[in-house]
Homo-oligomer: A and B are copies of this chain.
Amino acid sequence: MKKRAEPIHCDTCGAREKSVFCSLSPDEVSDVDASKSCNFYAKGQVIFHEGNRINGIYCVSKGKIKLFQIGNEGKEQIIRFAKEGDIIGYRALLSEEPLSASAATLEETSLCFIPKSQLLKLIANNPNFNFKMLKLLSHELGEAAKVITELAQKPVRERLAETLLILKQTFETDENQVIQVKLSREEIANIVGTATESVIRLLSDFKKENLIEVEGRSIRIVNIPALTRVANVFE
């Protein structure tokens, strides 16, 4: 774990609008700021390991993270992503269980570590924050249920199409409609729950069908309605 000489300043953990910390009072913000420590992580670094215990949570100040489990045959399964403003590690902390997933950076990332004591203090003293944590957990639980049904019932082609739409929604696109996250074909396979070769084949199918454009790891969704139809989602 590389550590920069100077801690990175981070207002995300303190008060960013989209983060769970946004409703903190100035006093609470400075309290959290005093106890947290921010670090820089290079691309591909592991932040924490499935099975370990954790003594605080991380807030993403900048960058992108994948959370994954390793299945029985050593294959990675990506469970979710975290980006600027998101927190990771809270599940294990609040359940008092070992980490259910590992976390690794997808690009250069700065993270703030917020110790357990600080988080529990916030939960105990700030009903608004407490309710946000409850809301976050229950929302995630609903999302997980959706994923379960889709994995159980949808064919690979539909799941891949949906994954692309979700990636677009999660990481947004630049001015050229390119999804703002770079994943290998293998990583995409590890979201969809399929073989790398299947992803490669289906991506080039999608390309031939003018649903997407691909350039290396850049993916642009050309025809959203058509891809949505392929994904077989109606919401």
Chain A residues with a Cβ under 8 A of chain B: 69, 71-73, 75, 77, 79, 90-97, 100-101, 123-124, 127, 130-131, 133-135, 137-142, 144-154, 192-193, 232-233
Chosen A-B contacts, 5 in total, with CB atoms closer than 8 Å, are A71-B154, A79-B148, A79-B149, A133-B134, A151-B152
For the complex formed, measure the closest distance between the CB of A118 and the CB atoms of chain B, giving whole angstroms.
16
Q: A71-B152, A72-B232, A79-B148 are in contact. Are A91 and B193 (CB under 8 A)?
A: no
Taken together as a complex, chains A and B put the C-alpha atoms of A133 and B94 apart, in Å, by 10
For the complex formed, measure the closest distance between the CB of A34 and the CB atoms of chain B, giving whole angstroms.
23
Taken together as a complex, chains A and B put the C-alpha atoms of A233 and B127 apart, in Å, by 40
Judge whether A73 and B153 touch: CB under 8 Å. Answer: yes
The answer, among B72, B91, B96, B150, for a CB contact under 8 Å with A141, is: B91
Q: A141-B137, A148-B79 are in contact. Are A153 and B71 (CB under 8 A)?
A: yes
Max chain B C-beta neighbours (<10 A), residue from A135, A138, A144, A193 = A138
Judge whether B145 and A72 touch: CB under 8 Å. Answer: no
Q: Quick one: copies of this chain in the complex? A: 2
For the complex formed, measure the closest distance between the CB of A116 and the CB atoms of chain B, giving whole angstroms.
13
Dominant SS among interface residues on chain A: helix
Taken together as a complex, chains A and B put the C-alpha atoms of A100 and B147 apart, in Å, by 12
For the complex formed, measure the closest distance between the CB of A114 and the CB atoms of chain B, giving whole angstroms.
16
For A139, the chain B residues whose CB sits under 8 A away are 95, 97
Judge whether A91 and B138 touch: CB under 8 Å. Answer: yes
Judge whether A100 and B145 touch: CB under 8 Å. Answer: yes
Q: A123-B134, A137-B141, A140-B141 are in contact. Are A149 and B71 (CB under 8 A)?
A: yes
The answer, among B69, B94, B153, for a CB contact under 8 Å with A75, is: B153
Taken together as a complex, chains A and B put the C-alpha atoms of A93 and B141 apart, in Å, by 12
The answer, among B75, B97, B152, for a CB contact under 8 Å with A142, is: B97
Closest B residue to A147 using CB positions = B148
For A124, the chain B residues whose CB sits under 8 A away are 127
For A101, the chain B residues whose CB sits under 8 A away are 145
Taken together as a complex, chains A and B put the C-alpha atoms of A91 and B124 apart, in Å, by 21
For A149, the chain B residues whose CB sits under 8 A away are 69, 71, 77, 79
